[in-house]
Amino acid sequence: MKSDVAKVTRLLKTARGQLDGILKMVEDDRYCIDISNQLMATQAILRNINRQILHDHLENCVQKSFTEGDQEEKIHEIMLIIDKLSK
């Protein structure tokens, strides 16, 4: 992985902490809107992590594949990811 591992790790740990907090909110029967807001905040962090990883993949792995003649496989991978993201 060519992404900033420290940054990605920190953000994933933040998201994990938020999930633990959301679970406690559910167990404590907290207000639904408060839970929903926390869920959206966690989803935003995960989307940002995914965006960063995909950007780094394009800038490194995909770009490298064009110089090594392996671009068809990388393009296919990206197309599959785009399909998943657009659902």
**CATH of residue 16:** 1.20.58.1000
- Give me the pLDDT at residue 15, please: 97
Q: Is 68 helix (H, G, I), strand (E, B) or coil?
A: helix
How far CA 38 is from CA of 21, 32, 48, in Å, comes to 9, 10, 15
**What is the SS3 assignment for 29?**
coil
- For the chain, the domain total comes to 1
- pTM greater than 0.95: no
Boundaries of domain holding 29: 5-85
pLDDT in tens, 52-80: 999 999 999 899 998 998 899 999 999 99
3-state secondary structure of 40: helix
Residue 42 CA to residue 38 CA, distance in Å, equals 6
pLDDT band at 36 (very low <50, low <70, confident <90, very high): very high
User: What is the rounded CA–CA span in Å between residue 17 and residue 33?
Assistant: 19
